[in-house]
Amino acid sequence: MFSRHTITDKVAFALVSFFLGQLGDGLNIFQGIYLVALGWNEGSVGIALSMMGFTALLTQTIAGDIIDKTTFDRRKFLSMAALMTAFSASAILFVKEGNVDHATMYTTKIIEGVSSSFIGPCVAALTLAAFGPDTFDEVMASNIFWGHVGSIASAVLAGLTAWITYPNIRYCFLVIGLSALLAVVGVKLLPEGDVLMGRGLKGTSDTVAVHSSGDAKEYVNMEVEGSASRSSTQGNISPPNCSVTAEENAISSYWEIFSDRKTVILCFTGFFFHFANANVLLVLGELMGGDNEDGSTKRSAIPLIAGAIVLAQFTMSGATYAGDKMTRGGWGRKPLFMAGLLTLPLRCFLIIIWKDAGEAWLLSTQILDGLGGGFFGLLHPYLVADITFGTGRFNVIMGLTASCFGLGGTLSNLLGQMVVEKYGHVASLSGSLVLSVIPIVLFSFAMPETAGQRGKIAKSVTVQVEAVGVSA
């Protein structure tokens, strides 16, 4: 059995990320197929599947703020979030046949939206806390890579199970429950790290908790001078008993970091990218799949849908690996992020001209989706760390940006499908094509390069220490 003594911290994060990757909303499309087969109409299915997205919009920023300020072990937060996400996602197993049990699905999707909002900030915070700002990019790239591999595994397992058990595909959702249990086991292997550094402040071995008027409990960085004696051979110091007063502005205010130009640009860029992008997969699935006479999805559509997910996630894995190598080779954030943005208009254009060319041609456009999503997903935490490190607001900005991205995706699915219903698939794809130009123009002209800027905006904190008893 694995233990913290037999594997490295980086491997432990990779294992947890793999199993958490199987908790993503990639199985939502299978949930939609199953609910339609039970007798739900498309409107009810759309409401149920969008409940998670709308709830996450409202809670992701708050979740990030909680993870910033918490004095509770973030690993326990992560375990609880994984279990709640899995239990709520698995509730579909108890939905009875017929257009019934709407309240059950709506409620559990809300719970899933709240709990899943904590997963991303927890993983990012624990990674930053354990490895620090200098190694954060490398380990976060590994986490994202293995998360994509986990999504591939879940799509393959779910698709295979759905194919074998068709039309009763409910058992494919057991993949979620098993993944959650394995993720919780893996979380026990993770280090807690430096709590202070986990929120985007410079961490040292000499950190103390400080009560302030701004937050219930804030953390500040301090250096013990004078009466603190360090070991010249081991470089260690025992935590002193001391009273501390810190400037109230040690942690950046919400307004200061929310109104930062780079934060605003990243939020709007991500919003418009997802506004243009999210509906494209739905349209692609509709063009490739087809329905039975009763409105249920054909059995032949299941491997195509699973294949679309797998191909995109496989390409995302490759893009993540390549992006990590290029970043470590000296590439800046901006060219890689721009490369991801540029894939979307090309993808929309190709689907439009290939809409009647056959399923293989349409499926191949998912490579572009993987490239775009891979670079975007990799650079997102990098950019947030660049913008916020030293402010103490790393996780709240991770949550804020994720909320903006989610809002774009939710509106994309809602409005995009309305356009499909009234004007057809080509009109919806043309709208996505036009919208995809906005984030390209915005990011290219308004966003400065942030590589190498991490920590330069850190505030200087005046800390007065009265040592009561310090031992080497």
DSSP secondary structure, 387-438, as one string: HHTTTT-HHHHHHHHHHHHHHHHHHHHHHHHHHHHHH-HHHHHHHHHHHTHH
pLDDT in tens, 363-402: 899 899 999 989 998 999 999 999 988 888 889 999 999 9
Confidence (pLDDT) at 295 = 53
Please tell me the total number of residues recorded for the chain in this structure: 472
Give residues with Cβ within 8 angstroms of 183, minimum separation 6: 16, 19, 20, 23, 79, 82
CATH class of this structure's domain 9-194+254-446: mainly alpha
For the chain, give me the number of helices (H) and strands (E)?
Answer: 16, 4
Average pLDDT over residues 224-247: 37
Q: How far is CA 452 from the centre of its chain?
A: 23
User: Which phi and psi (to 5°) does residue 448 adopt?
Assistant: -80, 165
Give residues with Cβ within 8 angstroms of 16, minimum separation 6: 78, 123, 183, 186, 187, 189, 190
SS3 string, 88-100, reads: HHHHHHHCCCCCC
Average pLDDT over residues 160-167: 76
Average pLDDT over residues 162-180: 76
- Domain positions in the chain are 9-194+254-446
Residue 308 confidence class, pLDDT cut points 50, 70, 90: confident
CA distance 172 to 163: 9
Confidence (pLDDT) at 319 = 92
DSSP label at residue 341: H
Mean pLDDT of the chain: 78
pLDDT in tens, 22-35: 776 556 667 777 78
Average pLDDT over residues 213-235: 37
pTM: 0.76
pLDDT in tens, 42-90: 667 777 777 877 888 889 889 999 998 888 889 999 999 888 888 887 7
DSSP assignment of 77-135, as one string?
A: HHHHHHHHHHHHHGGGGGPPSSS--HHHHHHHHHHHHHHHTTHHHHHHHHHHHHHHHHH
CA distance 2 to 6: 6
Is residue 36 scored above 80 in pLDDT?
no
3-state secondary structure of 170: helix
User: Which phi and psi (to 5°) does residue 466 adopt?
Assistant: -110, 105
**HSE (CB half, 13 Å, CA atoms) of 388?**
35
Tokens of 459: 């505030």
pLDDT in tens, 190-203: 998 888 888 877 75
Residue 286 confidence class, pLDDT cut points 50, 70, 90: confident
CA distance 160 to 449: 44
